[in-house]
Amino acid sequence: MKRCMVVGKPNVGKTLLVLSLAEHLKARAVDVTFIDLSGKRQSRTYAIAAAIRDLVGPRPHQTRCLQSVVVEVPAGKGRKVVDLVDTTGLTEHIHQDAEVRRAMAQTLQAIRPAQVVIHVVDAAEAGRVGQGPPAGVIDRQIADFAGSRGGYFIVANKMDLPDATRGLARLQRMFAGYTVLPVSATAKTGLREVKRHVLRNL
């Protein structure tokens, strides 16, 4: 099965993007498999709305382990099965919580074998930061680490918020040479383009 990883800083909307994408692909329910740090798997079936309620939130590090959602993507006459993998937010500092540190290491290890890596950045935040860079050191590092091969692109999320348009332009300048797609996981805009980019790289 092809694997598509969704990575980025905490709170940028990775989990909501995965679930909105699953919904866009006409999944009515999602089987979420939680892969804990010892590699043990536990699955639960959610209606999309319930998954959003339980798994998305303003609290950073709500996602503590790899969460995998298997979706079928219409491709030509057939369908492709894709494992959408939601991950723990990456930060540049060494996190005080050992469980979060291990979850970050788990994320980094899973990036290499993935066919597609979606790097999510908060466009509204990028538009607000004044003179500073529109994205953090960790975003630069993710692009350097995952962007050197095919199948990598950036999602500028939260385009429904004020300042996001300016943020998008700044991100496109900072990440010149990479594809940067404007999306709102909340308003469900830009998802068709994301789907096309995922399919193109499978």
Ligand X SMILES: Nc1nc2c(ncn2[C@@H]2O[C@H](COP(=O)(O)OP(=O)(O)O)[C@@H](O)[C@H]2O)c(=O)[nH]1
Q: Residue from 15, 67, 106, 107 that binds ligand X (CB under 6 A)?
A: 15
Q: Residue from 12, 20, 63, 71 that binds Mg ion (CB under 5 A)?
A: 63
Number of neighbours of residue 67 by Cβ within 10 angstroms: 24
Q: Residue from 111, 185, 194, 198 that binds ligand X (CB under 6 A)?
A: 185
* Residue 2 structure tokens: 């092809």
13 binds, among Mg ion, ligand X, none (CB under 5 to 8 A by kind): ligand X
Residues 6+ apart with CB under 8 A from 81: 1, 2, 70, 71, 72, 73
- 191 near 20, Cβ under 8 Å? yes
Nearer to Mg ion, 14 or 197 (CB): 14
Number of neighbours of residue 150 by Cβ within 10 angstroms: 11
- Per-residue x/- mask for Mg ion, residues 2 to 31, rule CB under 5 A? ------------xx----------------
Alpha-carbon Rg for the chain in angstroms? 16
Q: Is residue 89 involved in binding ligand X (CB under 6 A)? A: yes
* Residue 104 structure tokens: 């970050």
- Segment contacting ligand X by CB under 6 A, of 34-42, 50-58, 67-75, 139-147: 50-58
Nearer to Mg ion, 88 or 174 (CB): 88
Distance, in Å, from the CA atom of 23 to the CA atom of 168, rounded to the nearest integer, reads 24
Q: Treating both helix axes as pointing N-terminal to C-terminal, what angle do 137-146 and 98-111 enclose, rounded to 10 degrees?
A: 30
Q: Residue from 11, 115, 165, 172 that binds ligand X (CB under 6 A)?
A: 11
- Contacts with ligand X by CB under 6 A lie at 10-16, 56-58, 62-63, 89, 157-158, 160-161, 184-186
- Contacts with Mg ion by CB under 5 A lie at 14-15, 63
